[in-house]
Each structure stands twice: as C-alpha cells, then as structure tokens.
Amino acid sequence: MLGTYDYPTSHRVFEFVSVGAFLGFAGVLTWQVALEVSERVSLPIGVLVVMLIVAAYAVADLASGIVHFLLDNFGSPETPVIGQKFVKPFRDHHVDPMAMTQGDFIAVNADNVFVCLPVIIPAFFFLDAAHHPYSGVFIVGLVAGVIMTNQLHKWAHMPAVPRLVAAAQSKGIVLSKQHHSVHHSGEYDRNYCITWGRLDSLLNRLVALRER
C-alpha cells in the first residue's frame, strides 16, 4: 500500500500525510481560483495569467538555486537541525548523482510538498479568491514550481525520460540535462538552479561576485 521504499515506515507515512494534506488544500484553492479567473476571461486576462505563471516559475527556479547554493556551501551533515535532513542529501548527490533517480514520486518530492504546506494552508484559509484571484494564480504557480523541482532535477539526471519531458528539456521549458551537467562537471560552483535553470544567468553572476 505504501509502495517500495528503503527508509523508516514512519517517514513514509509522514510523506503520504504531507502529500494528502497538500492535495486537499491546493486542490480546493486551485479550483476556486480557476473559477474566478474563468468568469473574467479575456485576451488581456489570459496574457496576465500566463505572465503570472511564468513569474511564479521563475521565482521557484531562483529559490531552488539559492537554497541549493546555501546547502552546498554552508554547514555540513553534522550541522544541528538541518544537517542530516537538508545538507546531507545535496552533498550525497555530488558523490552519487544517480541515487536520486531510484526513488519513486513520493520519495523524491514529498519534502518539497511539506515545505509548501506553510504557504498553501494560510492561502487556503485567508486568501479571498473572489477578490484576489491573480494572487491565487501566483501562489498556485509558485507551489507547483517548488513541488516539481526535485522531479525536474531527477529527470535531468535520467538517461531516458518520457517523450514530453525530453521535448520540454530540449526547448528549455524545464531544466535540461546539458545545463545541469555544468553543475556536476566542475567544482559545483555554478548552475545551482534546478527547476528551470534560466535564473542561473542571474544567480551565477551573484555567486561570482562572492568569489572575487
């Protein structure tokens, strides 16, 4: 029932609870926002919604890069609280990049789902979709980008991916293998963004300033 996994059952149950809670809150919020937007639909509104989704995707990409940069460069697996849970997986990933491709969707993505709960639960209770539908579009786009980050990173390491994913990778719509391979080919000191990769053009410059 819980699928195949190689870590404690309590952790696996926690992952399913996180994913279930997220699907409940995010599903209802997305439905409310979609209804509100559909009542206002026009070409300018359509353009606005697309721009908000792209902006949210870009923020998720930049956030993935900043978190990755921090966890690659500061602390160690022995750091209290965050060491084992957050620093260690990134350091282990440099040693064995393919290990993350072994886990199923829950194992790979549940941590990011959990991170999004403090965003989606307050949004569910306090965001008035009727009055702020575009804030809703941005929040839903943002958590969708964050949740897909580890999956997109995993696909960038897999030799074979679904055809649609391969097309999105080759068109630069999601993180491509070539772009991410730069991170793994050197000192792990550039191309930290692991959702889209486009925001590395900004983050690489900021990281280079630190090296001067």
CA distance 133 to 24: 19
Q: Which is nearer to Zn ion, 188 or 196 (CB)?
A: 188
What is the closest distance, in whole angstroms, from the C-beta atom of residue 11 to Zn ion in the complex?
A: 22
Contact 55, 198 (CB under 8 A): no
b/e code 50-69 from CB counts within 10 Å (16+ = b): eebbeebbbbbbbbbbbbbb
Q: Which is nearer to Zn ion, 57 or 188 (CB)?
A: 188
What is the closest distance, in whole angstroms, from the C-beta atom of residue 97 to Zn ion in the complex?
A: 5
What is the closest distance, in whole angstroms, from the C-beta atom of residue 145 to Zn ion in the complex?
A: 17
Which residue has the CB atom at the shortest distance from Zn ion? 72
Q: Which is nearer to Zn ion, 65 or 136 (CB)?
A: 65
Q: Which is nearer to Zn ion, 40 or 85 (CB)?
A: 85
Q: What's the half-sphere exposure (Cβ side, CA atoms, 13 Å) at 172?
A: 6
What is the closest distance, in whole angstroms, from the C-beta atom of residue 91 to Zn ion in the complex?
A: 8
Contact 175, 169 (CB under 8 A): yes
Residues 6+ apart with CB under 8 A from 190: 182, 183, 200, 204, 207
What is the closest distance, in whole angstroms, from the C-beta atom of residue 110 to Zn ion in the complex?
A: 18
Token pair 């391969």 is at which residue? 166
Q: Which is nearer to Zn ion, 14 or 74 (CB)?
A: 74
What angle, rounded to 10 degrees, do the helices at 133-157 and 163-170 form? 100
Q: Within 10 Å of residue 158's Cβ, how many Cβ atoms? A: 14
Q: Which residues here bind Zn ion, judged by CB under 5 A?
A: 72, 188
